[in-house]
Structure 1
Amino acid sequence: MKKKFLLSIAILSVIGAMKCNAQGLETTVVQDLTEEHVFSQGIEGPAVDKAGNLYVVSFGKDGTIGIIKPGQKPELFIELPKGSTGNGIRFNKAGEMFVADYTGHNVLKINMKTKAVSVFAHEEKMTQPNDIAMSPSGILFASDPKWKDQTGQLWRIDKKGTVTLLEGNMGTTNGVEVSPDGKKLYVNESIQRNVWVYDLDKKGNISNKKLLYKFEDGGMDGMRCDKVGNLYIARYGKGEVAVLSPSGALIHTVKLKGKNPTNVTFGGPDRKTIYVTLQERGAVEYFRNSSAGRE
């Protein structure tokens, strides 16, 4: 009975902005936030700061980060140092920005007041990194796919920038996220279509790896959790965002305009707006959700 109750709560938390179609079925309203091709096909990120500004990489070209202020059009926020290309973005509680720099094998840190860019962590054994997630205590986790070999790794970066390999010999690790209570770490493998969950302790150690869900087709990219623990996954090639409950039930999918979503994040004044970056469109789409994001 308890499992059924929790699943019901999880389902209710993702029934956001809906309308009825001609058949009387409910569908989520997806809209464009930006025009097409404002960003390159390297569009990723995305992340929202405390002021509600949305940051997305590859504004106009790779190696940049764009900013979309509430109600305004995208503009350039910063150009990254030569040789650096941004991918996933996260903010810590102090408001500092961390960026996965996949060509430099770095995690960069950006001072939001001065726009000074520094190398927070560097590891030559990383193929990328690709996406990053942050625990409530400020520990970072990075996915590290090697696409040509269809393999990947998973790394931890502590608050001093020390890099530790958590697991090698995985599939193509891509999306990575931490549960709201900081006790679970989620990692997906794009080509293998697996979503894994680990137990996570306060020091950032992982254990008890389990398969949370396996998709039968399509790919996967970035992921984010809402405040009740549901996992929102960008389904690359499928043109949708899939929502999994903490127990691994597929409870909702949102059909997007574009086919290749690369990542998702929560924003808006109530943190209930979900922004999605679309590769082939070079644009950001959004839809409303009834549950706020965890961050």
Structure 2
Amino acid sequence: MSFETVFPAQAALGECPLWCGQTQRLWWVDIEAPAIHCLDPATGQNDTIPMDENVGCIALRAGGGFIAGLRSGLWLLDADGRKEKLIANPQTDTSISRFNDGRADPWGRFWAGTIYEPRDRPDAALYRVGPDLDCARMAGDIKVSNGVAFSPDRRWMYHSDTPAHVIYRYPLDPDTGQIGPREIFHQFPFGHGRPDGAAVDRDGFYWSALYEGGRVVRLSPDGDIVAEYPVPARCPTMCAFGGPDLRTLFVTTARHGRSKQELKDWPQSGNLFAMQVEATGQPEPRFAG
């Protein structure tokens, strides 16, 4: 098994791959060349919806369109990406902070975190939006929110702080959406890649893209690394399960801010990659609001 380019996107900062089982398409975003994309892996056709500001994450809505974490806040978008309603803008200064990683949970809520771009203090946070569009701050004391995912037994919410090289997990109350005290799920050593976006398979294994690590790692439900898979780009950003049987692992990658030498050494940086795996993913939920 190895990753191969499924679409030569050459994205600035590809992120948030999201599989739609109904259409058999992969949605994804480019944060720095702001756009929402939709790829048909069967044909290679990639449709693009340009955006007027950074788009960190999206989820499909049950009633059509998207919920999105943009630089200016959390928005409802129509099916063409047009802004319909600003849900919340909890950031104090959007010139140095924007929304980053996020996804819908199995109960139709949307979780999205921010990135504090100066990274000189833990000023980012994680937020949850309910179907009634209430927005609550769920966690803080982080610099870059990433890796939001949920265990198949619905007991745990996972979340990473990328600059700290750490993945946390929180006990989760499925009825209320409240989380308990965080605990360290896995602490990576510094200098060998840091945990970015992630996905959890049907057996509860957590797959994390290691930014500047050139690989995706699979962690057991106990937090142990059980497998590593090289990616033909130094900066993979997030992974997602897709395909008809949810056994294709897609990975987005980045070119933005990388050196000329790195892009020479890793010319496929920014592409979308895919690999067939033995694990089976979980269907991606839709936002119920």
| Superposition TM-score, scaled by structure 2 size | 0.83
The CA deviation string for residues 166-195 of structure 1, in whole angstroms up to 9 with x for no partner, is 122234322211212322110111111111
Residue 110 of structure 2 aligns with which residue?
A: 140
- 1:94 and 1:221 mapped to 2: Cα distance? 29
2:279 partner amino acid: S
Alignment partner, residue 67 of structure 2:
98
Residues 200-243 of structure 1: CA distance to partner in whole angstroms, max 9, x if unpaired?
A: 11211110321111000321210111111111101000100011
- Contact 1:49–1:95 (CA under 8 A) maintained in structure 2: no
- Aligned counterparts of 1:263 and 1:56: Cα–Cα separation in 2: 10
Cα shift readout 1:2-50 (whole Å, capped 9, x = no counterpart): xxxxxxxxxxxxxxxxxxxxxxxxxx2211101252x3x1211211112
Pick one of 129, 133, 145 that aligns with 1:157: 129
- Of 79, 82, 87 in structure 2, the residue corresponding to residue 121 of structure 1 is 87
Whether the 8 Å CA contact 1:200–1:207 is kept in 2: the answer is yes
CA contact (8 A) 2:148 2:157 kept: yes
Deviation at 1:147, TM superposition (A): 3.1
**1:239 maps to what in 2?**
214
Counterpart in 1 of 2:286? Answer: none
Identify if the C-alpha distance between structure 1 residues 93 and 230 changes in structure 2 by more than 3 Å, giving closer, same or farther: farther
Q: Counterpart of 2:41 in 1: which secondary structure? A: coil
- Output the amino acid matched with 1:175: G
Q: Equivalent residue of 1:191, what SS?
A: helix
Go from structure 1 to structure 2 and tell me whether the alpha carbon gap of 1:247 and 1:95 turns closer, same or farther (over 3 Å shift): farther
2: CA distance, partners of 1:119 / 1:46 = 23
For 2:105 and 2:9, the matched residues in 1 are separated by 33
Q: 1:167 to 1:36 in 2, by over 3 A?
A: closer
Q: Is there any run of 5+ residues in structure 1 with no aligned partner, and where?
A: 1-27
Give the secondary-structure state (helix, strand or coil) at the position aligned to 2:196.
coil
Residue in 2 aligned with 1:54?
26
How do 1:27-106 and structure 2 match up within 5 A? 28-35=1-8, 37=10, 39=11, 41-50=12-21, 51-58=23-30, 62-80=33-51, 82=52, 84-92=53-61, 96-101=65-70, 103-106=71-74
Q: Percent identity?
A: 22
Q: How does 1:277-288 map to 2 (within 5 A)?
A: 277-280=252-255, 281-288=269-276
By relative contact order (CA 8 Å, sep 6+), the higher-ranking structure is 2
AA partner of residue 239 (structure 1): G
CA pair 137-104 structure 1, distance change in 2 beyond 3 A: same
Residue 175 (structure 1) aligns with: 147
Q: How far apart, in 2, do the equivalents of 1:221 and 1:98 lie?
A: 21
Check conservation: 1:150, 1:172, Cα contact below 8 A. Answer: no
CA distance in 2, matches of 1:160, 1:214: 36
Please tell me the residue identity of whatever aligns with 2:19: V
Matches within 5 A, 1:126-275: 127-148=97-118, 149-151=120-122, 152-201=124-173, 202-217=175-190, 218-275=193-250
Gap regions ≥5 residues in structure 2: 256-268, 284-289
SS in 1 for 2:216: strand
How far apart, CA to CA, are the structure 2 residues paired with 1:52 and 1:192?
35
**Post-superposition offset of 1:262:** 0.9
Distance 1:95 1:185, change over 3 A: farther
Equivalent pairs counted in the alignment come to 260
Contact 1:123 1:163 in 2 (8 A): no
Match of 1:292 among 238, 256, 280: 280
Structure 2 counterpart of 1:142, which letter?
A: A
Relative to 1, partners in 2 of residues 1:293 and 1:213: Cα closer, same or farther, differing over 3 Å? same
1:53: how far off? 0.6
CA 1:205–1:215 in 2, change beyond 3 Å: closer, same or farther? same
What letter is aligned with 2:207?
Answer: Y
